[in-house]
Amino acid sequence: MSDLIELDGVEKVFEVRRKTGRLRREKREVRAVDGISFRVPRGEMVGYIGPNGAGKSTTIKMLTGILTPSAGRLRVAGLDPSRERTKLAQRIGVVFGQRTTLWWDLPLYDSYKLAHRMYRIPDARFRENLDRCVELLDLASLLDVPVRQLSLGQRMRGDIAAALLHDPDVLYLDEPTIGLDVISKAKVRQFLRDLNAERATTILLTTHDLTDIEQLCKRVMVIDHGRLMYDGALAGLHEAGESERTLVVDLERELPPVQAEGARVVKVEGPRQWLAFPASASAAPLVAHIAQAYPLVDLSVREPDIEAVIARMYDGRPLY
Amino acid sequence: MPHRGNSVAKGRGAGLGSRALVSMAVGGAVVRLYGVVAAGGFRRYTTYRVATAAGVFTNTVFGVIVAYTYIALWDQRPNLGGYDQSQALTYVWISQAMLMTVNLFGGGFADELVERIRTGDIAIDLYRPADLQLWWLSADLGRALFHFLGRGVVPLTFGALFFDLALPTDPLTWLAFLLAVLLGVVVSFALRFLVALSAFWLLDGAGVASLVSIAGLFFSGMLLPLNAFPGLLGEVARALPWSSLLQIPADVLMGRHRGWGLLGAFGFQLGWAAALLGVGRLLQSAAVRRVVVQGG
Amino acid sequence: MAETVTERRPAPGVWATYRMIAGMWIRSTLAYRASFVMMLVGNFLVTAFDFVVIALMFSQVRSLGGYSFAEVAFLYGTSTTAFGLANAVLGSIDKLGARIRDGTLDTLLVRPAPVLAQVAADRFGLQRLGRLLQGVLVLAGSLLSLHVHWTVLKVLLVPVMLLSGTAIFCAVFVAGAAFQFWAQDAAEVQSAFTYGGQTLLQYPPTVFAKDMVRGVTFVLPLAFVNWLPALYVLGRPYPLALPAWLAFTPPLVAAACLTLAGQAWRVGIRSYRSTGS
């Protein structure tokens, strides 16, 4: 069995009550996940991205057994997640970016000791995995510190270690670099790359940070409105989305929209203007042209973020 | 009032943005400022509708259980504590209705204040151009009004429908009752404010708070009317501040304080309110000195 | 390519999970030692108030609903001990609603251990033993002062009653928690049946209206926690015309309650809708 994750026509429908009047309420069905199918073979690292409310978290929660699908077939490591949730828990590691699984008032090491006992990890294996995580994630000085005293980046590293002590086949990461400083981000990414290379751990990560995807994942899946919009290489995503970067220029005064070849003005706000240009093109000639022809005060280039890429992918609306 | 400096950071106080409030205070509309704080205290509880309904249900169930035990007790001793049976039942339902209003189970603003002291956010509050004690009192009065209406009316109505209660028909008595409740809320606030301030000196005040709240539960008359307490215990209990929270409002509603006696009851509540608020004020200025010395 | 761990051991059982999680919480609370002691004392005191009220009542009267002080104390002791045990084991299961609201239930669901055991041990604190302790003390006191003609059957019935009573209260706790999967803010409704039930059972059934007694006998069978067996021990008639052998059915009633509550829990967890995006 080489496909570790298999989804066939998976759906999740929520019934929501919305207030329509002072007392009246209306029942409405929301299809958070609307017929998704994909497979992930062992050892692959996949980015699972989409705007907020697209159905990312709902998918992950079904894959971990937290939520029961409304329809479709779902298998992780050959198990039906919601029916065999506790069995599956032995085979997966989960890191929720915003919620720690560590024990707030206790030293970091205590959380690992609990994992040792709860996952029934053989002693030697536990020590080996812990040593490795401590070394690569730089946790040695933190083991005796109560979790509440850790910084966000330290806690995230601590959470990642906690999710890996039992040698999971699959690791789900929900926004693993959110709120981290540059150095912590780099450390986390390097660690995940090593983990994937050495242990062939299958990794599925959701993120808002395109750099996470660029540096970690060969394959990207884009989900929106509960449907899979794209499944393929990252490069292809840029093409499919005709990704554009944005040049923000501050002029000396309010002027009519700037005229420049290969770029178009998408927004004007007083003396500030936004110009979109293809992500594949260099910004230099554009900047040179504008600096020459217009009274330029300041400028900045904005990289396309995932939401923008996705937004452009299937509706032709401008970014701003 | 500590009008020191005009740099005011955001405080969560009563769930209001402080900037608007500050500009009002500077404008001189101080009364309006506290009115807005009180309204905020009221409003933040209105969002918990299901929880309010659940609480009303539970209060009503407890009211029924306690009512029957009182019926059995007054069957044996008619006129115990000077109450006849329907007065005893009235007492039961008033106490269920007032439980949340005078905050006998603790919590509410005190937890929040302790948390702000613990995290040091209190330093921000002290530089706010609003008085700390008045600010929290206003918010708590808003909360009390919500609990009076949201948690009090239904249980009392239920009791009046299904049990033989001795409720007055005279609107003036009801008015006097409302005043007694208001004073009871102020005394309750003053007590909890004192306890919360102790967090300046004790690292973790949860234990103290729970002991004081236990004392309050016992000496307020929530468990048994204070006039049914035997001998000296009863006399002591009736002289303590907690008797202002429940016993006095209930007796006022049942018309047991009249004329000069009514004034005496109000005087008793006012006296405790003034004394406790005064001590709170002293503690507060000691705390301010402490924060200033430590550099916030 | 490293091999994945060869053998996956079975998940820890309910009791092992409970001990692990409770242990973590005990150590967490010990971080605040002074407060812990005060809360232990507080818990003992506040739960003892119920008995203080009864003592105060009996300082004014000699019997309540036709029952003597020792008899009421026996009812109090059995009700409070059973409830105290259930509360010590499952006391903060009513915090489930809060865990659902803030989304932290998810973190329990991805552990390889029974969720019910994890939720039951959540925020476990030794101060919960305060209630149990005072229940046991009152029960012991009542046993010493009761004038009962003890038979083997009656002696055996006391521990059976306490254990089945605990199980019935546990079922109420679990059913109440399951209810919170649908109504997270309604945790307080549960108190009406748990704390309210405990209070009700501390008094003789003769005190209450017949309809209430019928309700807690046939609808929500709290009467089987202590009323029916305890009245057999005390040699008192039940206010409803019921056969005497019902005094020996609490274990069956408890088993039925636990089964139903377990069913409700399973339905609840399957309909769980995790919050957040």
Report DSSP letters for chain B, one per residue: -----S------TTTS-HHHHHHHHHTT-HHHHHHHHHHHHHHHHHT-HHHHHHHHHHHHHHHHHHHHHHHHHHHHSTTGGG--HHHHHHHHHHHHHHTTTTTTT--THHHHHHHHHHHTTHHHHHTSSS-HHHHHHHHHHHHHHHHIIIIIHHHHHHHHHHS-------HHHHHHHHHHHHHHHHHHHHHHHHHHHGGGTSS-THHHHHHHHHHHHHHTTSSS-GGGS-HHHHHHHHHSGGGGTTHHHHHHHTT-S-THHHHHHHHHHHHHHHHHHHHHHHHHHHHHHHHHHHT-
Q: How high is the pLDDT of residue B7?
A: 30
Q: Which of A205, A165, A169, A200 is nearest to A189 (CA)?
A: A205
- Looking at residue C253, its amino acid is V
Q: Are B190 and B277 in contact (CB under 8 A)?
A: yes
User: What's the gap between Cα A92 and its chain centre?
Assistant: 17
* CB-defined contacts A:C, below 8 A: 91
- Say yes or no to pLDDT of C8 above 80: no
For residue B2, the model assigns a pLDDT of 36
| Percentage of the residues of chain C whose pLDDT score is greater than 90 | 71
Q: How far is C204 from chain B (nearest CA, A)?
A: 9
Q: How far is CA A288 from CA A169, A259, A260, in A?
A: 51, 13, 10
Q: What's the distance, Cα to Cα, between the start and end of chain A in Å?
A: 46
Determine the pLDDT at residue B31: 79
A279 touches chain C (CB under 8 A): no
Of A277 and C261, the one with more pLDDT = C261
Please tell me the predicted confidence (pLDDT) of residue A314: 53
What gap in Å lies between CA B192 and CA B187, rounded to an integer? 9
Structure tokens at B97: 């209705």
Amino acid A21: pLDDT: 62
Compare C7 and B225 and report the one with higher pLDDT: B225
By C-alpha distance, which of A135, A148, A136, A146 is closest to A109? A146
Q: For residues A83 and A68, what is the distance between their CA atoms, to the nearest angstrom?
A: 8
pLDDT of residue A176: 85
Q: SS3 for A1?
A: coil
Average pLDDT, chain A: 86
Evaluate whether A263 touches A290 at the Cβ level (below 8 Å): no
SS3 percent helix, strand, coil of chain C, rounded to 5, is 75, 0, 25
Q: In this predicted structure, what is the pLDDT of residue B295? A: 47
Cα distances from B163 to residues B96, B102, C165, C193, in angstroms, run 14, 24, 31, 21
Beta bridge partners of A205: A47, A173
pLDDT tens readout for residues A93-121: 999 877 888 998 899 999 999 999 999 99
**B214 contact residues in C (CB cutoff 8 A):** 42, 45-46, 49
Least confident piece of the model among B204-208, C56-60, C164-168, C186-190? B204-208
Answer yes or no: are the C-beta atoms of C128 and C91 closer than 8 Å.
yes
Task: Pick the range with the lowest mean pLDDT from A82-86, A243-247, A304-308, C236-240.
Answer: A304-308
**B165-187 burial by CB neighbour count: b if 16+ within 10 A, else e?**
bbbeeeeebeebbebbbbbbbbb
Give C110's contacts in chain A (Cβ within 8 Å). 64-66, 89, 92, 94, 101
pLDDT of residue A192: 92
Share of chain B above pLDDT 90, in %: 58
Least confidently predicted of A165-179, A192-206, A257-271, C99-113: A257-271
How far apart are the C-alpha atoms of A126 and C9, rounded to whole Å? Answer: 14
Give pLDDT, residue C6. Answer: 45
- pLDDT, tens digit, for every residue of A54-80? 888 899 999 999 999 999 999 999 999
Nearest CB neighbour to A65, from listed C12, C27, C109: C109
Chain B interface, best mutation among C36, C61, C100, C184, by max B CB count within 10 A: C61
* Window B:230-269, CB contacts with C under 8 Å: 230
For residue A215, give Cα distances in angstroms to A219, B1, C75, C104, C259. 11, 58, 69, 30, 52
Pick from C32, C144, A126, A313: which is nearest to B202 by CA? C32
> Rounded CA gap, A298 and A300, in Å?
7
Average pLDDT over chain C reads 90
> What backbone phi and psi angles, to 5 degrees, belong to A33?
-125, 125
H-helix or E-strand spanning residue C37? helix C33-58
pLDDT at C120 over 50: yes
Tell me: pLDDT of B165 over 80: yes
Q: Is the pLDDT of residue B3 over 50?
A: no
Residues 6+ apart with CB under 8 A from A93: A163, A164, A166, A168, A170, A171, A172
Query: What percentage of chain A reaches a pLDDT higher than 70?
Result: 90
Please tell me the predicted confidence (pLDDT) of residue B10: 31
| Separation between Cα atoms, residue A98 and residue A182, nearest integer Å | 18
- CB of C110 within 8 A of CB of A64? yes
The total of other beta-carbon atoms located within 10 Å of residue B263's CB is 12
Are A66 and C272 in contact (CB < 8 Å)?
yes
Decide if pLDDT at B71 tops 70.
yes
- Identify the pLDDT of residue C75: 98
Pairing assessment for the beta strands A71-76 and A3-19 based on DSSP bridges = antiparallel
Q: Of C154 and A232, which is predicted with more confidence?
A: C154
Greatest extent of chain B over all pairs of C-alpha atoms, in Å: 66
Assess B208–C contact: CB distance below 8 Å, yes or no: yes
Angle at A117 between CA A113 and CA A118, to 5 degrees: 110
C191 touches chain B (CB under 8 A): yes
- Rounded CA-CA distance A171/A162 in Å is 11
User: Cβ separation of C276 and A57 shorter than 8 Å?
Assistant: yes
What tokens were used for A176? 């693993």
Output the CA angle B58-B63-B67, nearest 5 degrees.
155
| A224 has a pLDDT exceeding 50 | yes
Residue scoring higher pLDDT (B117 or C216): C216
| C-alpha atoms less than 13 angstroms from C-alpha of A137 in its C-beta half-sphere | 28
Is residue A170 scored above 90 in pLDDT? yes
Can you spell out the DSSP letters for C69-116?
HHHHHHHHHHHHHHHHHHHHHHGGGGGHHHHHHTTTHHHHHTSSS-HH
**Cα separation of B102 and C26, whole Å?**
33
Q: Which helix (H) or strand (E) holds A45?
A: strand A45-49
At C252 the three-state DSSP class reads helix
Model confidence at C276, pLDDT cuts 50, 70, 90, reads: very low
Neighbours of chain C (3+ CB pairs under 8 A): A, B
Residue with tokens 């923008």: A308
Q: Quote the pLDDT of residue A238.
A: 64
DSSP letter, residue C234: H
pLDDT above 80 for A244: no
Cβ count near A293 (within 10 Å):
11
Strand order in the sheet with A45-49: A92-96, A170-174, A202-206, A45-49, A219-224, A227-233
Whether B51 sits inside 8 A of C63 (CB atoms) is no
* C-alpha R_g of chain A: 23
Instruction: Provide the 8-state DSSP code for C216.
Output: I
Mean pLDDT of C77-82: 97
Structure tokens belonging to residue C71 = 């008899």
Report the pLDDT value the prediction gives residue B12, as an integer from 0 to 100: 37
Angle ∠(B245,B251,B257) on CA atoms, nearest 5? 120
Residue from C30, C37, C41, C46 whose CB has the most chain B CBs within 10 Å, to mutate = C46
Say what the pLDDT of residue C2 is. 41
Q: Which DSSP category does C4 fall into?
A: P
Instruction: Report the pLDDT value the prediction gives residue C1, as an integer from 0 to 100.
Output: 38
- Integer Cα distance of A199 and C255 in angstroms: 48
- With beta carbons under 8 A apart, name residues in chain C contacting B202: 34
Average pLDDT over residues C30-48: 79
Contact check, Cβ <8 Å, B224/C65 = no
In this structure, the number of other CB atoms found within 10 A of the CB of residue A287 comes to 16
| Any B CB within 8 A of C32 CB | yes
B58 part of contact set with chain C, CB < 8 Å: yes
- DSSP tag of A218: S
Hey, is the C-beta of A300 within 8 angstroms of any chain C C-beta?
no
pLDDT tens digits along A34-54? 999 999 999 999 999 887 778
The chain-wide mean pLDDT, for chain B, equals 85
CA atoms within a 13 Å half-sphere pointing along the CA-CB vector of C214: 4
Closest CA to A35 of A71, A75, A81: A71
Percent of all residues in chain A with a pLDDT value above 90, rounded to a whole number: 44
Cα-based angle A47, A71, C119 (whole degrees, multiple of 5): 75
Nearest one of B96, B232, B254 to B169, comparing CA atoms: B254
Task: Report how far residue A81's alpha carbon sits from residue A67's, in angstroms, rounded to the nearest whole number.
Answer: 9
Give the residue, B199 or C169, on which the prediction is more confident: C169
- The pLDDT tens digits for C179-227 are 999 888 888 899 999 999 999 999 999 999 999 999 999 999 999 999 9
* Per-residue pLDDT at A316: 44
pLDDT at A291: 85
C195, closest residue in chain B (CA to CA)? B62
Tokens representing residue A151 in the block: 């910084």
Chain C residue nearest residue B105, CA to CA: C46
Give the range among A203-212, B58-67, B186-195, C58-67 with minimum mean pLDDT.
A203-212
Q: How many pairs of residues across B and C have Cβ atoms under 8 Å apart? A: 110
ipTM, 2 dp: 0.91
Residue A235 has pLDDT above 80, yes or no: no
**pLDDT tens column, C150-168:** 999 999 999 999 999 999 9
Confirm if B176 and B262 have CB atoms less than 8 A apart: yes
Longest dimension (CA), chain A: 71
